[in-house]
Amino acid sequence: MDLTLLSVIELSEALKKHEITSIEIAEAYLQRIAKKDGEIGAYITVCNQGTLEASKNADTSLSDIAGIPVAVKDNICTKGITTTCASKMLYGYVPPYDASVIEKLKSAGSFVLGKLNMDEFGMGSSTENSALKLTRNPYDYDRVPGGSSGGAAAAVAAYEAPFAIASDTGGSIRQPAAFCGVVGMKPTYGSVSRYGLVAFASSLDQIGPITRTVRDNRLIFNIICGKDARDSTTAESVYERDAIDISSLRIAVLSELMDSASADVKEKIIKAASKLERLGAQIDILSLPEIKSALSAYYIISSAEASSNLARYDGVRYGYRVKNFDDIDDMMIQSRSEGFGEEVKRRIMLGTFALSTGYHDAYYKRAKHVQRAVINAFDRIFKSYDLILAPTTPGVAFRFGEMKNDPTAMYRQDICTVPASIAGLPALSLPVGKNAAGLPIGAQLIGAAFSENLIYSVAELLEREVKYCGL
């Protein structure tokens, strides 16, 4: 039996029956990584000896994930394990502490397999912006895995990890999940602690799980969510699993997001809507004009926050420092110029401009007004509807280099995921089929704040109806 093909829940059940051990799981995944990751490139760091040591007593806990390893996006701090954000700026940095989510997973008996590749500091939609390596889509090695959590989605899809923990700022969990045919959840802002997450845009960043099934995703989310005294934005929310009557549900399909999708993506979303309708849900097509400006507002807000958050990497206090320089100003200029990649520098410049004197009101302030308009528009919809069904991405995974030199085309890849992000709403992507070339297509379920369990319940029903097969 190949243990890497089992879901988290299946591994948990086998462990509880003493049919397998955590050491056998760890060995199976390390062997899979050694065999496959040379082609995929999902991992920046593999914790070979550390994984085996941690697995020895991991299955003694009573938790449902005891003895099951996790792979972690490389912008989430892991004590004693290099955390680089896929950047030259942080290359070699070893955190002295674990992020809150890692503490929770370890307390539940999980252990870290390794750290996963990403777009540098989370800025990108293809993982082509990593300063360290290239990650390939497991379905087609000539195509991107999505981003910025491309390594996380690729690792789970290629059976190199049973589940992964990643971050989503404007779609960085959901978009690569759609491209790689896996399940990715961006929880409600504040439902999962960001303590130990290297900040990109603090008012938008959110940590969430990537898995192969919806049930696995719900299991992991319920472990990592909750109040954290070290993150003042976290909320004390109780996620009880209630039975749902799908015949009483009203689900909206937004015409603006459907219009942005390619024909093959649109076809699969329509089929998904039809399946939910046959199960008894009411499906209505609605217009939400406010979200047309969401993408522009997102890039102004996120870049402004990035320019502030990344100011600390100056070669004095944090990050890479050049060896030869004339004075402190020259040292800072050279260190930041060499330490940051092109996309990171582009966003720092955009954010600094948007916050500068004379332009703050015209750009940043106006973007915040658009954000409020989007939040209000979603509030209106959720007074009458339970969920929104939408494409996760406008198309399938694109080829390497196809959009690398066209930043605006790359930014448009986030058009379907950004609206939920700037509204702080939970949104889950799950695979609902493949196109004619066999590339995965994802559907997105968006709910009101803290409606994760409703989203999971409907997603489980849809998953059973679709019967999606992975690699």
- Identity of the amino acid at 443: A
How many angstroms separate the CA atoms of 102 and 93, rounded?
17
In a domain, 65, yes or no: yes
In a domain, 354, yes or no: no
Q: What's the DSSP call for residue 187?
A: P
Q: Are 177 and 151 in contact, with CB atoms under 8 Å apart?
A: no
What is residue 279's predicted lDDT score, i.e. its pLDDT?
A: 96
**CATH assignment at residue 50:** 3.90.1300.10
What is residue 240's predicted lDDT score, i.e. its pLDDT?
A: 62
Per the annotation, the verdict on 148 as an active-site residue is yes
Q: Is 325 left (phi over 0), alpha (psi -120 to 50) or beta?
A: beta
How many angstroms separate the CA atoms of 82 and 61, rounded?
27
φ, ψ (nearest 5 deg) of residue 379: -60, -40
Options 22, 55, 73, 457, the catalytic residue = 73
Contacts of 445 (CB under 8 A, 6+ apart): 387, 388, 389, 427, 428, 430, 455, 458, 459, 462
Q: Are 67 and 57 in contact, with CB atoms under 8 Å apart?
A: no
What is residue 73's predicted lDDT score, i.e. its pLDDT?
A: 98
Range of the domain at 63: 3-244
φ, ψ (nearest 5 deg) of residue 103: -55, -45
In a domain, 52, yes or no: yes
Length of the chain: 471
Per the annotation, the verdict on 125 as an active-site residue is no
What is residue 369's predicted lDDT score, i.e. its pLDDT?
A: 97
What is residue 241's predicted lDDT score, i.e. its pLDDT?
A: 63
pTM surpassing 0.95?
yes
CA atoms within 13 A on the CB side of 136: 11
In a domain, 144, yes or no: yes
Options 12, 125, 148, 191, the catalytic residue = 148
Residue 285 tokens, joined: 């097509």
Q: Is 127 left (phi over 0), alpha (psi -120 to 50) or beta?
A: left
Q: Locate tokens 């996380």: which residue?
A: 152
In a domain, 434, yes or no: no
In a domain, 56, yes or no: yes
3-state class (DSSP) for residue 114: strand
How many angstroms separate the CA atoms of 350 and 408, rounded?
13
Options 12, 130, 172, 451, the catalytic residue = 172
Burial (Cβ within 10 Å: 0-12, 13-18, ≥19) of residue 93: middle
In a domain, 134, yes or no: yes
Which of 434, 437, 424, 433 has the alpha carbon at shortest distance from 467? 433
CB atoms within 10 A of CB 194: 23
Q: Locate tokens 């559907």: which residue?
A: 443
Per the annotation, the verdict on 73 as an active-site residue is yes
Per-residue confidence of the chain (471 residues) as pLDDT tens digits?
899 999 999 999 999 999 999 999 999 999 999 999 999 999 999 999 988 888 887 777 779 999 999 999 999 999 999 999 999 999 999 999 999 999 999 999 999 999 999 999 999 999 999 999 999 999 999 999 999 999 999 999 999 999 999 999 999 999 999 999 999 999 999 999 999 999 999 999 999 999 999 999 999 999 999 999 999 999 887 666 667 889 899 999 999 999 999 999 999 999 999 999 999 999 999 999 999 999 999 999 999 999 999 999 999 988 999 999 999 999 999 999 999 999 999 999 999 999 998 888 889 999 999 999 999 999 999 999 999 999 999 999 999 999 988 888 999 999 999 999 999 999 999 999 999 999 999 999 999 999 999 999 999 999 999 999 888
How many angstroms separate the CA atoms of 39 and 62, rounded?
36
Residues paired with 81 in a beta bridge: 78
Compute CA distances 18 → 21, 52, 108, 230, whole Å: 7, 18, 18, 37
In a domain, 333, yes or no: no
- My answer on whether omega of the bond before 167 falls inside 30° of 0, hence cis, is no
H helices present in 261-416, as ranges:
263-278, 294-309, 328-339, 342-355, 366-382, 407-411
How many angstroms separate the CA atoms of 365 and 380, rounded?
23
Number of domains in the chain: 1
